[in-house]
Structure 1
Amino acid sequence: MSAVESFLTPAEESAIVAAIASAERATSGEIRLHIERLCSGDPLERAKQVFELLEMHKTEQKNGVLFYLAVDDHKFAICGDRGIDAVVPADFWNSTKDLLASHFKRAEFAAGLIAGIELAGEQLKKYFPYAKDDQNELSNEISKG
Protein backbone atom coordinates (compact mmCIF):
# COMPACT_ATOMS: atom_id res chain seq x y z
CA MET A 1 0.00 0.00 0.00
CA SER A 2 1.42 3.39 -0.98
CA ALA A 3 1.97 6.28 1.40
CA VAL A 4 -0.99 8.06 -0.18
CA GLU A 5 -3.28 5.06 0.19
CA SER A 6 -2.30 4.48 3.82
CA PHE A 7 -2.16 8.12 4.94
CA LEU A 8 -5.78 8.07 6.14
CA THR A 9 -7.78 5.10 7.32
CA PRO A 10 -10.99 4.28 5.45
CA ALA A 11 -12.95 5.59 8.45
CA GLU A 12 -10.98 8.85 8.39
CA GLU A 13 -11.57 9.22 4.65
CA SER A 14 -15.30 8.67 5.18
CA ALA A 15 -15.35 11.28 7.96
CA ILE A 16 -13.59 13.82 5.72
CA VAL A 17 -15.95 13.18 2.80
CA ALA A 18 -18.87 13.56 5.23
CA ALA A 19 -17.41 16.86 6.50
CA ILE A 20 -17.16 18.11 2.91
CA ALA A 21 -20.75 17.10 2.19
CA SER A 22 -21.93 18.72 5.43
CA ALA A 23 -20.10 21.97 4.69
CA GLU A 24 -21.46 22.06 1.14
CA ARG A 25 -25.09 21.57 2.25
CA ALA A 26 -25.12 25.19 3.45
CA THR A 27 -23.38 26.76 0.46
CA SER A 28 -23.07 26.80 -3.30
CA GLY A 29 -19.30 26.51 -2.78
CA GLU A 30 -17.26 23.42 -3.50
CA ILE A 31 -14.53 21.85 -1.37
CA ARG A 32 -12.06 19.15 -2.44
CA LEU A 33 -9.12 17.35 -0.87
CA HIS A 34 -6.22 16.12 -2.99
CA ILE A 35 -3.46 13.90 -1.59
CA GLU A 36 -0.26 12.91 -3.36
CA ARG A 37 3.16 11.64 -2.33
CA LEU A 38 5.56 14.34 -3.46
CA CYS A 39 5.68 18.06 -4.12
CA SER A 40 9.02 19.11 -5.54
CA GLY A 41 8.35 22.84 -5.45
CA ASP A 42 6.11 25.30 -3.69
CA PRO A 43 3.00 23.53 -2.36
CA LEU A 44 0.72 26.50 -3.12
CA GLU A 45 1.84 26.52 -6.76
CA ARG A 46 1.25 22.77 -6.96
CA ALA A 47 -2.17 23.22 -5.32
CA LYS A 48 -3.04 25.74 -8.03
CA GLN A 49 -2.03 23.22 -10.71
CA VAL A 50 -4.14 20.51 -9.10
CA PHE A 51 -7.01 23.00 -8.79
CA GLU A 52 -6.96 23.37 -12.57
CA LEU A 53 -6.50 19.63 -13.20
CA LEU A 54 -9.57 18.89 -11.05
CA GLU A 55 -11.43 21.60 -13.02
CA MET A 56 -12.30 23.43 -9.82
CA HIS A 57 -12.01 26.72 -11.71
CA LYS A 58 -15.18 25.80 -13.60
CA THR A 59 -17.58 26.41 -10.71
CA GLU A 60 -20.21 28.96 -11.63
CA GLN A 61 -19.43 31.39 -8.80
CA LYS A 62 -15.66 30.74 -8.68
CA ASN A 63 -16.03 29.52 -5.11
CA GLY A 64 -14.05 26.28 -5.00
CA VAL A 65 -11.60 25.53 -2.18
CA LEU A 66 -8.84 22.93 -2.45
CA PHE A 67 -6.98 21.36 0.46
CA TYR A 68 -3.74 19.93 -0.94
CA LEU A 69 -1.36 17.51 0.84
CA ALA A 70 1.97 15.99 -0.23
CA VAL A 71 2.38 13.29 2.41
CA ASP A 72 5.99 12.18 1.87
CA ASP A 73 7.24 15.77 1.71
CA HIS A 74 5.13 16.96 4.66
CA LYS A 75 3.83 19.90 2.62
CA PHE A 76 0.34 21.25 2.30
CA ALA A 77 -1.57 24.24 1.01
CA ILE A 78 -5.08 25.60 0.78
CA CYS A 79 -6.24 27.58 -2.21
CA GLY A 80 -9.52 29.18 -3.08
CA ASP A 81 -10.82 30.35 -6.42
CA ARG A 82 -11.06 34.08 -7.11
CA GLY A 83 -14.68 34.39 -6.00
CA ILE A 84 -14.02 33.19 -2.46
CA ASP A 85 -10.57 34.80 -2.31
CA ALA A 86 -12.13 38.18 -3.00
CA VAL A 87 -14.41 38.06 0.04
CA VAL A 88 -12.68 36.18 2.87
CA PRO A 89 -10.53 38.13 5.36
CA ALA A 90 -6.98 38.66 4.10
CA ASP A 91 -5.48 36.28 6.67
CA PHE A 92 -8.15 33.58 6.36
CA TRP A 93 -6.17 31.01 4.35
CA ASN A 94 -3.07 31.45 6.51
CA SER A 95 -5.01 31.15 9.76
CA THR A 96 -6.76 28.05 8.41
CA LYS A 97 -3.38 26.64 7.42
CA ASP A 98 -2.12 27.35 10.96
CA LEU A 99 -5.08 25.42 12.37
CA LEU A 100 -4.26 22.43 10.19
CA ALA A 101 -0.56 22.65 11.10
CA SER A 102 -1.37 22.56 14.82
CA HIS A 103 -3.29 19.31 14.29
CA PHE A 104 -0.72 17.86 11.90
CA LYS A 105 2.09 18.38 14.46
CA ARG A 106 0.17 15.98 16.72
CA ALA A 107 -0.40 13.53 13.83
CA GLU A 108 -4.12 14.39 13.90
CA PHE A 109 -4.40 14.58 10.13
CA ALA A 110 -8.09 13.77 9.72
CA ALA A 111 -9.10 16.03 12.62
CA GLY A 112 -7.07 18.89 11.17
CA LEU A 113 -8.55 18.48 7.72
CA ILE A 114 -12.07 18.30 9.11
CA ALA A 115 -11.50 21.44 11.19
CA GLY A 116 -10.18 23.28 8.13
CA ILE A 117 -13.03 22.06 5.95
CA GLU A 118 -15.53 23.27 8.56
CA LEU A 119 -13.89 26.73 8.64
CA ALA A 120 -13.90 26.96 4.85
CA GLY A 121 -17.53 25.85 4.85
CA GLU A 122 -18.46 28.62 7.29
CA GLN A 123 -16.90 31.23 5.02
CA LEU A 124 -18.51 29.74 1.93
CA LYS A 125 -21.90 29.72 3.69
CA LYS A 126 -21.45 33.36 4.71
CA TYR A 127 -20.60 34.62 1.22
CA PHE A 128 -22.16 31.96 -1.01
CA PRO A 129 -25.27 30.68 0.79
CA TYR A 130 -27.10 27.65 -0.49
CA ALA A 131 -29.94 28.29 -2.92
CA LYS A 132 -32.59 25.68 -3.65
CA ASP A 133 -31.43 25.29 -7.25
CA ASP A 134 -27.77 24.68 -6.30
CA GLN A 135 -26.14 21.58 -7.69
CA ASN A 136 -23.07 19.78 -6.42
CA GLU A 137 -20.68 20.83 -9.19
CA LEU A 138 -17.70 18.71 -8.08
CA SER A 139 -17.21 15.33 -6.47
CA ASN A 140 -16.75 15.26 -2.70
CA GLU A 141 -14.47 12.25 -2.97
CA ILE A 142 -10.80 12.60 -2.05
CA SER A 143 -8.62 12.70 -5.15
CA LYS A 144 -5.22 11.05 -5.09
CA GLY A 145 -2.27 11.48 -7.35
Structure 2
Amino acid sequence: MELTDDDRARVAAAVALAERSTAGEIVTIVARRSDKYHDVALHWAVLAMLLVLALLALVPTAAVWLHGLVADPWEGAPSAGSLFTVALVLLAVTFLVVRLALAWMPLRLALTPGSTAARRVHERARMLFRTAAEARTLEATGVLVYLSLDEHRAEIIADHSIHKRVAPDIWGAAMAALIAATRDGRPGDGMAEAVRQIGLVLAEQFPPRSDDTNELPDRLIEL
Protein backbone atom coordinates (compact mmCIF):
# COMPACT_ATOMS: atom_id res chain seq x y z
CA MET A 1 0.00 0.00 0.00
CA GLU A 2 1.55 3.26 -1.15
CA LEU A 3 0.51 6.89 -0.98
CA THR A 4 0.26 8.73 -4.28
CA ASP A 5 0.89 12.38 -5.06
CA ASP A 6 -2.88 12.79 -5.32
CA ASP A 7 -3.23 11.37 -1.80
CA ARG A 8 -0.68 13.83 -0.46
CA ALA A 9 -2.38 16.76 -2.18
CA ARG A 10 -5.82 15.63 -0.99
CA VAL A 11 -4.71 15.39 2.64
CA ALA A 12 -2.92 18.75 2.58
CA ALA A 13 -6.00 20.38 1.03
CA ALA A 14 -8.25 18.79 3.66
CA VAL A 15 -6.04 20.15 6.46
CA ALA A 16 -6.00 23.65 4.96
CA LEU A 17 -9.78 23.62 4.52
CA ALA A 18 -10.45 22.33 8.04
CA GLU A 19 -8.18 24.93 9.61
CA ARG A 20 -10.02 27.81 7.94
CA SER A 21 -12.88 27.28 10.39
CA THR A 22 -10.92 26.76 13.59
CA ALA A 23 -8.02 27.97 15.71
CA GLY A 24 -7.00 24.34 15.99
CA GLU A 25 -4.06 22.92 14.07
CA ILE A 26 -4.04 19.46 12.52
CA VAL A 27 -0.84 17.52 11.84
CA THR A 28 -0.98 14.39 9.68
CA ILE A 29 1.74 11.74 9.79
CA VAL A 30 1.89 8.42 7.95
CA ALA A 31 4.47 5.74 8.75
CA ARG A 32 5.13 2.47 6.96
CA ARG A 33 5.10 0.75 10.35
CA SER A 34 5.53 1.76 13.98
CA ASP A 35 8.10 -0.83 14.99
CA LYS A 36 10.28 -3.56 13.52
CA TYR A 37 9.02 -6.09 16.08
CA HIS A 38 12.37 -7.83 16.44
CA ASP A 39 11.33 -9.03 19.89
CA VAL A 40 8.29 -10.76 18.40
CA ALA A 41 10.50 -12.72 16.00
CA LEU A 42 12.80 -13.62 18.89
CA HIS A 43 9.90 -14.81 21.04
CA TRP A 44 8.57 -17.05 18.27
CA ALA A 45 12.04 -18.52 17.68
CA VAL A 46 12.42 -19.29 21.39
CA LEU A 47 8.92 -20.79 21.49
CA ALA A 48 9.82 -23.05 18.56
CA MET A 49 12.91 -24.22 20.45
CA LEU A 50 10.80 -25.02 23.51
CA LEU A 51 8.38 -26.99 21.35
CA VAL A 52 11.28 -29.01 19.94
CA LEU A 53 12.49 -29.72 23.49
CA ALA A 54 9.00 -30.84 24.45
CA LEU A 55 8.89 -33.12 21.40
CA LEU A 56 12.24 -34.67 22.32
CA ALA A 57 10.99 -35.22 25.87
CA LEU A 58 7.83 -36.91 24.60
CA VAL A 59 9.64 -38.98 21.96
CA PRO A 60 13.21 -39.60 23.20
CA THR A 61 13.85 -42.06 20.39
CA ALA A 62 13.71 -39.13 17.95
CA ALA A 63 17.13 -37.98 19.17
CA VAL A 64 18.48 -41.51 18.80
CA TRP A 65 17.11 -41.70 15.25
CA LEU A 66 18.65 -38.35 14.33
CA HIS A 67 21.96 -39.44 15.80
CA GLY A 68 21.81 -42.58 13.69
CA LEU A 69 21.55 -40.50 10.51
CA VAL A 70 25.04 -39.08 10.98
CA ALA A 71 26.81 -41.55 13.26
CA ASP A 72 28.80 -44.64 12.35
CA PRO A 73 26.31 -47.54 12.34
CA TRP A 74 28.96 -49.74 14.03
CA GLU A 75 29.40 -47.29 16.86
CA GLY A 76 26.74 -48.88 19.02
CA ALA A 77 24.28 -47.14 21.30
CA PRO A 78 24.81 -43.35 21.42
CA SER A 79 26.16 -41.84 24.61
CA ALA A 80 24.30 -39.23 26.64
CA GLY A 81 26.79 -36.64 25.41
CA SER A 82 26.09 -37.52 21.78
CA LEU A 83 22.34 -37.23 22.28
CA PHE A 84 22.81 -33.91 24.06
CA THR A 85 24.83 -32.66 21.08
CA VAL A 86 22.07 -33.75 18.71
CA ALA A 87 19.53 -31.85 20.80
CA LEU A 88 21.68 -28.70 20.83
CA VAL A 89 22.18 -28.79 17.07
CA LEU A 90 18.46 -29.34 16.51
CA LEU A 91 17.60 -26.40 18.77
CA ALA A 92 20.10 -24.14 17.01
CA VAL A 93 18.76 -25.09 13.57
CA THR A 94 15.18 -24.54 14.74
CA PHE A 95 16.04 -21.10 16.10
CA LEU A 96 17.82 -20.04 12.91
CA VAL A 97 15.10 -21.32 10.58
CA VAL A 98 12.30 -19.57 12.47
CA ARG A 99 14.34 -16.40 12.86
CA LEU A 100 15.13 -16.31 9.14
CA ALA A 101 11.51 -17.03 8.20
CA LEU A 102 10.38 -14.13 10.37
CA ALA A 103 12.80 -11.80 8.63
CA TRP A 104 9.96 -11.54 6.10
CA MET A 105 8.02 -8.63 7.55
CA PRO A 106 4.49 -9.66 6.42
CA LEU A 107 4.86 -12.94 8.30
CA ARG A 108 6.31 -11.19 11.35
CA LEU A 109 3.40 -8.76 11.41
CA ALA A 110 0.89 -11.58 10.95
CA LEU A 111 2.33 -13.31 14.03
CA THR A 112 2.45 -10.13 16.12
CA PRO A 113 -0.34 -10.10 18.74
CA GLY A 114 -2.88 -7.37 18.14
CA SER A 115 -2.36 -5.93 21.61
CA THR A 116 1.38 -5.63 20.96
CA ALA A 117 0.85 -3.85 17.64
CA ALA A 118 -1.71 -1.50 19.20
CA ARG A 119 0.67 -0.63 22.04
CA ARG A 120 3.60 0.04 19.70
CA VAL A 121 1.48 2.22 17.41
CA HIS A 122 0.22 4.20 20.40
CA GLU A 123 3.73 4.65 21.79
CA ARG A 124 5.04 5.86 18.43
CA ALA A 125 2.11 8.23 18.04
CA ARG A 126 2.70 9.70 21.51
CA MET A 127 6.36 10.24 20.72
CA LEU A 128 5.57 11.92 17.41
CA PHE A 129 2.88 14.05 19.03
CA ARG A 130 5.38 15.37 21.55
CA THR A 131 7.75 16.18 18.70
CA ALA A 132 5.37 17.58 16.10
CA ALA A 133 2.36 19.08 17.85
CA GLU A 134 2.39 19.22 21.64
CA ALA A 135 2.64 22.78 22.99
CA ARG A 136 3.65 24.08 19.57
CA THR A 137 0.54 26.22 19.12
CA LEU A 138 -0.41 29.44 20.89
CA GLU A 139 -3.36 27.94 22.74
CA ALA A 140 -2.25 24.28 22.79
CA THR A 141 -4.79 23.35 20.13
CA GLY A 142 -2.80 20.87 18.06
CA VAL A 143 -4.16 17.50 16.94
CA LEU A 144 -2.10 14.66 15.52
CA VAL A 145 -3.61 12.19 13.06
CA TYR A 146 -1.20 9.26 12.86
CA LEU A 147 -1.56 6.29 10.52
CA SER A 148 0.65 3.19 10.63
CA LEU A 149 0.10 1.48 7.29
CA ASP A 150 1.39 -2.05 7.81
CA GLU A 151 -0.48 -2.48 11.10
CA HIS A 152 -3.68 -0.87 9.71
CA ARG A 153 -3.87 1.11 12.93
CA ALA A 154 -4.19 4.79 13.68
CA GLU A 155 -4.13 7.23 16.58
CA ILE A 156 -5.68 10.66 17.07
CA ILE A 157 -4.03 12.62 19.87
CA ALA A 158 -5.02 16.13 20.93
CA ASP A 159 -3.17 18.76 22.93
CA HIS A 160 -4.31 19.50 26.48
CA SER A 161 -6.59 22.46 25.64
CA ILE A 162 -8.60 20.27 23.28
CA HIS A 163 -8.47 17.31 25.63
CA LYS A 164 -10.17 19.41 28.33
CA ARG A 165 -13.18 20.13 26.11
CA VAL A 166 -13.42 17.13 23.81
CA ALA A 167 -13.83 13.58 25.09
CA PRO A 168 -11.53 11.06 23.36
CA ASP A 169 -14.49 9.02 22.09
CA ILE A 170 -15.59 12.00 19.99
CA TRP A 171 -12.83 11.05 17.56
CA GLY A 172 -14.39 7.61 17.06
CA ALA A 173 -16.09 8.43 13.74
CA ALA A 174 -12.92 9.97 12.33
CA MET A 175 -10.89 6.97 13.47
CA ALA A 176 -13.39 4.51 11.98
CA ALA A 177 -13.36 6.31 8.63
CA LEU A 178 -9.56 6.33 8.57
CA ILE A 179 -9.16 2.64 9.43
CA ALA A 180 -11.91 1.49 7.05
CA ALA A 181 -10.43 3.36 4.10
CA THR A 182 -6.92 2.14 4.90
CA ARG A 183 -8.04 -1.49 5.01
CA ASP A 184 -9.75 -0.87 1.68
CA GLY A 185 -6.44 0.34 0.21
CA ARG A 186 -7.37 4.05 0.24
CA PRO A 187 -5.25 5.62 3.00
CA GLY A 188 -5.32 9.05 1.37
CA ASP A 189 -9.12 9.11 1.35
CA GLY A 190 -9.18 7.91 4.95
CA MET A 191 -6.79 10.60 6.14
CA ALA A 192 -8.72 13.33 4.30
CA GLU A 193 -12.04 12.18 5.76
CA ALA A 194 -10.60 11.93 9.27
CA VAL A 195 -9.22 15.45 8.96
CA ARG A 196 -12.60 16.72 7.76
CA GLN A 197 -14.42 15.22 10.74
CA ILE A 198 -11.80 16.45 13.20
CA GLY A 199 -12.10 19.91 11.68
CA LEU A 200 -15.85 19.93 12.34
CA VAL A 201 -15.27 19.19 16.03
CA LEU A 202 -12.53 21.79 16.33
CA ALA A 203 -14.61 24.44 14.56
CA GLU A 204 -17.35 24.00 17.16
CA GLN A 205 -15.04 24.10 20.17
CA PHE A 206 -12.26 26.39 18.92
CA PRO A 207 -13.50 28.96 16.39
CA PRO A 208 -10.80 30.90 14.53
CA ARG A 209 -9.21 33.92 16.22
CA SER A 210 -8.92 37.27 14.50
CA ASP A 211 -5.13 36.98 14.64
CA ASP A 212 -5.09 33.28 13.73
CA THR A 213 -2.06 32.07 11.78
CA ASN A 214 -1.05 28.72 10.36
CA GLU A 215 1.19 27.45 13.15
CA LEU A 216 1.84 23.89 11.98
CA PRO A 217 2.47 22.52 8.46
CA ASP A 218 -0.51 21.38 6.39
CA ARG A 219 1.46 18.90 4.31
CA LEU A 220 1.32 15.19 4.97
CA ILE A 221 4.45 14.02 6.80
CA GLU A 222 5.71 10.59 5.75
CA LEU A 223 8.13 8.53 7.81
TM bin (shorter chain) = 0.7 to 0.9
The percent of aligned pairs where both chains have the same amino acid is 30
Of structures 1 and 2, the larger Rg is shown by 2
Q: Residue 220 of structure 2: which of 96, 120, 142 is its match?
A: 142
Unaligned runs of 5+ in 2: 36-118
Unaligned runs of 5+ in 1: none
Distance in 2, Cα, partners of 1:99 & 1:55: 22
Superposed, 1:28-47 pairs within 5 Å as 28-40=23-35, 41-47=119-125
One-letter amino acid of the counterpart of residue 17, structure 1: A
Deviation at 1:90, TM superposition (A): 4.4
Q: Residue 63 of structure 1: which of 141, 148, 151 is its match?
A: 141
Q: Which has the higher helix share?
A: 2
Distance in 1, Cα, partners of 2:120 & 2:172: 15
Q: Extract structure 1 runs of 4+ deviating beyond 4 A.
A: none
Superposed, 1:70-85 pairs within 5 Å as 70-85=148-163
Deviation at 1:32, TM superposition (A): 0.9
The equivalent of 1:126 in structure 2 is: 204
Distance 1:95 1:67, change over 3 A: same
Aligned length: 140
Report which stretch shifted further, 81-90 or 127-136: 81-90
Q: Residue 12 of structure 1: which of 7, 15, 26 is its match?
A: 7
The equivalent of 2:170 in structure 1 is: 92
Report which stretch shifted further, 51-60 or 122-131: 51-60
Distance in 2, Cα, partners of 1:55 & 1:16: 17
Report which stretch shifted further, 69-78 or 11-20: 69-78
Distance 1:14 1:90, change over 3 A: closer
Root-mean-square deviation (CA), in Å? 1.7
Distance in 2, Cα, partners of 1:68 & 1:99: 13
Q: Secondary structure at the match of 2:135?
A: helix
Q: Secondary structure at the match of 1:28?
A: coil
